[in-house]
Amino acid sequence: MAANARNMTPRRVLIVEDEAPIRRMIAFNLVRAGFEVEEAADCAAARSCIADRCPDLVLVDWMLPDASGLELTRTLRRDERSRELPIIMLTARAEERDRVSGLEGGADDYITKPFSGRELVARINAVLRRTGGTGEEVLEIGDLRLDPVGHRIHAGGSEVTLGPTEYRLLKFLLENQERVFTRGQLLDHVWGGNVYVEERTIDVHVRRLRQALEPYAADRFVQTVRGAGYRLSAS
Ligand code: CA
Protein backbone atom coordinates (compact mmCIF):
# COMPACT_ATOMS: atom_id res chain seq x y z
CA MET A 1 0.00 0.00 0.00
CA ALA A 2 2.94 2.30 0.71
CA ALA A 3 4.14 2.08 -2.88
CA ASN A 4 0.68 2.99 -4.04
CA ALA A 5 0.09 5.85 -1.61
CA ARG A 6 3.26 7.57 -2.81
CA ASN A 7 1.69 8.32 -6.15
CA MET A 8 -0.79 11.09 -6.76
CA THR A 9 -2.82 9.12 -9.27
CA PRO A 10 -4.01 5.65 -8.29
CA ARG A 11 -2.49 2.69 -10.14
CA ARG A 12 -4.89 0.98 -12.51
CA VAL A 13 -5.12 -2.78 -12.48
CA LEU A 14 -6.97 -4.83 -15.08
CA ILE A 15 -8.41 -8.09 -13.71
CA VAL A 16 -8.85 -10.78 -16.36
CA GLU A 17 -10.88 -13.58 -14.76
CA ASP A 18 -14.02 -15.32 -16.02
CA GLU A 19 -15.29 -16.40 -12.60
CA ALA A 20 -17.30 -13.39 -11.41
CA PRO A 21 -17.13 -14.11 -7.64
CA ILE A 22 -13.32 -14.34 -7.76
CA ARG A 23 -13.09 -11.25 -9.96
CA ARG A 24 -15.27 -9.28 -7.56
CA MET A 25 -13.28 -10.49 -4.55
CA ILE A 26 -10.06 -9.32 -6.20
CA ALA A 27 -11.61 -5.99 -7.25
CA PHE A 28 -12.91 -5.42 -3.73
CA ASN A 29 -9.47 -5.98 -2.21
CA LEU A 30 -7.68 -3.81 -4.74
CA VAL A 31 -10.09 -0.89 -4.45
CA ARG A 32 -9.73 -1.07 -0.68
CA ALA A 33 -5.94 -0.90 -1.12
CA GLY A 34 -6.27 2.26 -3.21
CA PHE A 35 -6.10 0.85 -6.73
CA GLU A 36 -8.41 1.66 -9.60
CA VAL A 37 -9.70 -1.51 -11.22
CA GLU A 38 -11.04 -2.61 -14.55
CA GLU A 39 -12.54 -6.02 -15.17
CA ALA A 40 -12.54 -8.36 -18.14
CA ALA A 41 -14.11 -11.82 -18.31
CA ASP A 42 -12.10 -13.12 -21.27
CA CYS A 43 -9.05 -12.42 -23.43
CA ALA A 44 -10.96 -10.51 -26.10
CA ALA A 45 -12.43 -8.11 -23.52
CA ALA A 46 -8.98 -7.74 -21.93
CA ARG A 47 -7.34 -6.84 -25.23
CA SER A 48 -9.97 -4.25 -26.07
CA CYS A 49 -9.67 -2.80 -22.55
CA ILE A 50 -5.88 -2.50 -22.92
CA ALA A 51 -6.20 -1.00 -26.40
CA ASP A 52 -8.52 1.69 -25.00
CA ARG A 53 -6.26 2.64 -22.15
CA CYS A 54 -3.21 0.74 -20.99
CA PRO A 55 -3.40 -0.17 -17.27
CA ASP A 56 -0.41 -0.15 -14.89
CA LEU A 57 -0.66 -3.89 -14.30
CA VAL A 58 -2.73 -6.87 -15.46
CA LEU A 59 -3.83 -9.86 -13.40
CA VAL A 60 -4.41 -12.74 -15.80
CA ASP A 61 -6.14 -15.96 -14.84
CA TRP A 62 -4.59 -19.07 -16.37
CA MET A 63 -7.95 -20.60 -17.35
CA LEU A 64 -10.07 -18.31 -19.51
CA PRO A 65 -12.92 -19.23 -21.88
CA ASP A 66 -11.54 -17.97 -25.21
CA ALA A 67 -7.78 -18.54 -24.83
CA SER A 68 -5.38 -19.35 -22.02
CA GLY A 69 -3.89 -16.64 -19.84
CA LEU A 70 -0.51 -17.70 -21.14
CA GLU A 71 -1.57 -17.00 -24.72
CA LEU A 72 -2.90 -13.61 -23.69
CA THR A 73 0.41 -12.84 -21.97
CA ARG A 74 2.35 -13.78 -25.10
CA THR A 75 0.09 -11.63 -27.26
CA LEU A 76 0.59 -8.65 -24.97
CA ARG A 77 4.36 -9.13 -24.94
CA ARG A 78 4.46 -9.12 -28.75
CA ASP A 79 2.61 -5.82 -28.96
CA GLU A 80 4.78 -2.71 -28.77
CA ARG A 81 2.20 -0.88 -26.62
CA SER A 82 1.91 -3.58 -23.98
CA ARG A 83 5.41 -5.01 -24.17
CA GLU A 84 6.48 -3.63 -20.80
CA LEU A 85 3.09 -3.98 -19.12
CA PRO A 86 3.54 -5.80 -15.76
CA ILE A 87 1.60 -9.07 -15.75
CA ILE A 88 0.80 -11.37 -12.85
CA MET A 89 -0.61 -14.80 -13.68
CA LEU A 90 -3.23 -16.40 -11.44
CA THR A 91 -3.16 -20.18 -11.38
CA ALA A 92 -5.44 -22.70 -9.70
CA ARG A 93 -3.15 -25.62 -9.12
CA ALA A 94 0.47 -26.37 -8.32
CA GLU A 95 0.93 -28.11 -11.68
CA GLU A 96 -0.20 -24.99 -13.51
CA ARG A 97 2.17 -22.98 -11.36
CA ASP A 98 4.99 -25.28 -12.46
CA ARG A 99 4.04 -24.89 -16.10
CA VAL A 100 3.90 -21.13 -15.73
CA SER A 101 7.28 -20.98 -14.04
CA GLY A 102 8.72 -23.33 -16.65
CA LEU A 103 7.24 -21.64 -19.67
CA GLU A 104 7.22 -18.15 -18.21
CA GLY A 105 5.50 -16.68 -21.26
CA GLY A 106 6.66 -13.27 -20.16
CA ALA A 107 4.65 -12.96 -16.92
CA ASP A 108 6.39 -11.01 -14.17
CA ASP A 109 5.03 -13.16 -11.35
CA TYR A 110 2.39 -15.77 -10.64
CA ILE A 111 0.11 -16.42 -7.67
CA THR A 112 -1.51 -19.74 -6.86
CA LYS A 113 -5.16 -19.82 -5.80
CA PRO A 114 -6.44 -19.57 -3.17
CA PHE A 115 -4.67 -16.38 -2.08
CA SER A 116 -5.54 -13.69 0.43
CA GLY A 117 -6.28 -10.10 -0.52
CA ARG A 118 -3.29 -9.03 1.51
CA GLU A 119 -0.95 -11.41 -0.31
CA LEU A 120 -2.28 -10.27 -3.68
CA VAL A 121 -1.77 -6.56 -2.87
CA ALA A 122 1.74 -7.27 -1.57
CA ARG A 123 2.66 -9.15 -4.74
CA ILE A 124 1.19 -6.43 -6.98
CA ASN A 125 3.17 -3.75 -5.16
CA ALA A 126 6.33 -5.84 -5.39
CA VAL A 127 5.92 -6.28 -9.15
CA LEU A 128 5.14 -2.57 -9.63
CA ARG A 129 8.27 -1.67 -7.68
CA ARG A 130 10.40 -4.19 -9.54
CA THR A 131 9.15 -3.26 -13.00
CA GLY A 132 9.11 0.44 -12.25
CA GLY A 133 5.28 0.37 -12.37
CA THR A 134 4.70 3.81 -13.73
CA GLY A 135 8.18 3.50 -15.21
CA GLU A 136 9.17 6.84 -13.76
CA GLU A 137 11.98 5.93 -11.42
CA VAL A 138 15.52 6.72 -12.53
CA LEU A 139 17.56 3.50 -12.70
CA GLU A 140 21.22 3.58 -11.75
CA ILE A 141 24.32 1.50 -11.52
CA GLY A 142 27.64 3.14 -10.73
CA ASP A 143 27.75 6.35 -12.78
CA LEU A 144 25.29 4.99 -15.34
CA ARG A 145 21.79 6.48 -15.16
CA LEU A 146 18.68 5.69 -17.17
CA ASP A 147 15.78 8.13 -16.99
CA PRO A 148 12.65 6.35 -18.33
CA VAL A 149 10.59 9.56 -18.44
CA GLY A 150 13.04 11.50 -20.60
CA HIS A 151 14.11 8.26 -22.29
CA ARG A 152 17.72 9.29 -21.68
CA ILE A 153 20.86 7.56 -20.54
CA HIS A 154 23.87 9.24 -19.00
CA ALA A 155 27.22 7.69 -18.19
CA GLY A 156 30.02 9.60 -16.56
CA GLY A 157 28.12 12.84 -17.20
CA SER A 158 27.75 12.28 -20.97
CA GLU A 159 24.61 11.28 -22.80
CA VAL A 160 24.63 7.80 -24.33
CA THR A 161 22.59 7.04 -27.45
CA LEU A 162 21.21 3.52 -27.77
CA GLY A 163 19.02 1.74 -30.30
CA PRO A 164 15.52 0.78 -29.08
CA THR A 165 16.43 -2.85 -28.39
CA GLU A 166 19.64 -1.97 -26.53
CA TYR A 167 17.62 0.58 -24.54
CA ARG A 168 15.05 -2.05 -23.49
CA LEU A 169 17.80 -4.54 -22.74
CA LEU A 170 19.67 -2.08 -20.54
CA LYS A 171 16.46 -1.00 -18.81
CA PHE A 172 15.53 -4.61 -18.05
CA LEU A 173 19.00 -5.40 -16.71
CA LEU A 174 18.99 -2.22 -14.59
CA GLU A 175 15.64 -3.26 -13.11
CA ASN A 176 17.09 -6.67 -12.27
CA GLN A 177 20.67 -5.93 -11.26
CA GLU A 178 22.92 -8.74 -10.04
CA ARG A 179 20.61 -11.40 -11.47
CA VAL A 180 21.80 -13.79 -14.16
CA PHE A 181 19.50 -14.25 -17.15
CA THR A 182 19.76 -16.91 -19.80
CA ARG A 183 19.38 -15.87 -23.42
CA GLY A 184 15.94 -17.51 -23.40
CA GLN A 185 14.82 -15.47 -20.41
CA LEU A 186 16.10 -12.26 -21.99
CA LEU A 187 14.17 -13.15 -25.14
CA ASP A 188 10.97 -13.53 -23.12
CA HIS A 189 11.42 -10.38 -21.07
CA VAL A 190 13.01 -7.98 -23.53
CA TRP A 191 11.84 -9.29 -26.89
CA GLY A 192 8.48 -10.50 -25.58
CA GLY A 193 8.93 -14.22 -26.11
CA ASN A 194 8.97 -13.80 -29.87
CA VAL A 195 9.83 -17.28 -31.09
CA TYR A 196 11.17 -15.96 -34.40
CA VAL A 197 14.15 -14.29 -32.76
CA GLU A 198 17.18 -16.52 -32.49
CA GLU A 199 19.08 -16.65 -29.23
CA ARG A 200 22.32 -15.49 -30.84
CA THR A 201 20.50 -12.23 -31.66
CA ILE A 202 20.82 -11.47 -27.94
CA ASP A 203 24.61 -11.63 -28.23
CA VAL A 204 24.55 -9.09 -31.05
CA HIS A 205 22.53 -6.62 -28.98
CA VAL A 206 24.62 -7.19 -25.86
CA ARG A 207 27.73 -6.47 -27.94
CA ARG A 208 26.17 -3.24 -29.27
CA LEU A 209 25.19 -2.24 -25.75
CA ARG A 210 28.75 -2.81 -24.51
CA GLN A 211 30.20 -0.86 -27.43
CA ALA A 212 27.91 2.08 -26.71
CA LEU A 213 28.95 2.08 -23.06
CA GLU A 214 32.64 1.41 -23.69
CA PRO A 215 33.84 5.05 -23.87
CA TYR A 216 32.49 5.53 -20.37
CA ALA A 217 34.17 2.40 -19.02
CA ALA A 218 30.71 1.23 -18.05
CA ASP A 219 31.01 -1.81 -20.32
CA ARG A 220 32.27 -3.79 -17.35
CA PHE A 221 28.75 -3.68 -15.89
CA VAL A 222 27.32 -6.01 -18.54
CA GLN A 223 28.92 -9.31 -17.63
CA THR A 224 28.96 -12.63 -19.43
CA VAL A 225 28.34 -15.53 -17.06
CA ARG A 226 29.90 -18.52 -18.77
CA GLY A 227 27.42 -21.28 -19.53
CA ALA A 228 24.55 -19.27 -18.05
CA GLY A 229 23.93 -15.94 -19.72
CA TYR A 230 24.27 -12.28 -18.81
CA ARG A 231 24.19 -10.17 -15.70
CA LEU A 232 24.34 -6.46 -14.93
CA SER A 233 26.54 -6.01 -11.92
CA ALA A 234 28.35 -3.23 -10.11
CA SER A 235 31.10 -5.56 -8.88
CA1 CA B 1 -10.82 -18.91 -14.79
pLDDT digits (tens, 9 = 90+) for 73-127: 989 988 888 888 999 989 887 666 666 554 556 788 888 888 888 889 888 887 8
Name the domain boundary from 108, 131, 154. Answer: 131
* pLDDT for position 8: 45
CA of 123 to the centre of ligand 1 (A): 19
Residues 21, 126 within the same domain: yes
Residue 1 is predicted with a pLDDT of: 38
Please tell me whether residues 33 and 81 are part of one structural domain.
Answer: yes
Q: How many helices (H) and strands (E) does the chain have?
A: 9, 11
- Spatial separation of the C-alpha atoms in residues 36 and 34, rounded to whole Å: 7
Residue 97 and residue 154 in one domain = no
Whether 59 and 127 map to the same domain: the answer is yes
Q: How far is the CA of 67 from the centre of ligand 1 (A)?
A: 10
**Is 196 contained in some domain?**
yes
**How many angstroms separate the alpha carbon of residue 173 from the centre of ligand 1?**
33
Which residues, by Cβ under 5 Å, contact ligand 1, an ion?
Answer: 18, 61, 63
Q: 212 C-alpha to center of ligand 1: Å?
A: 46
CATH number at 115 reads 3.40.50.2300
Residues 80 and 179 in one domain: no
Number of domains in the chain: 2
Predicted TM-score (pTM) above 0.75? no
Expressed in angstroms and rounded, the spacing between residue 224 Cα and the centre of ligand 1 is 41
Phi, psi of 147 (to 5 degrees): -105, 105
Same domain as 159, residue 114? no
Preceding amide of 114 cis, omega within 30? yes
Residues 157 and 120 both lie in one domain:
no
Domain coverage including residue 184:
139-232
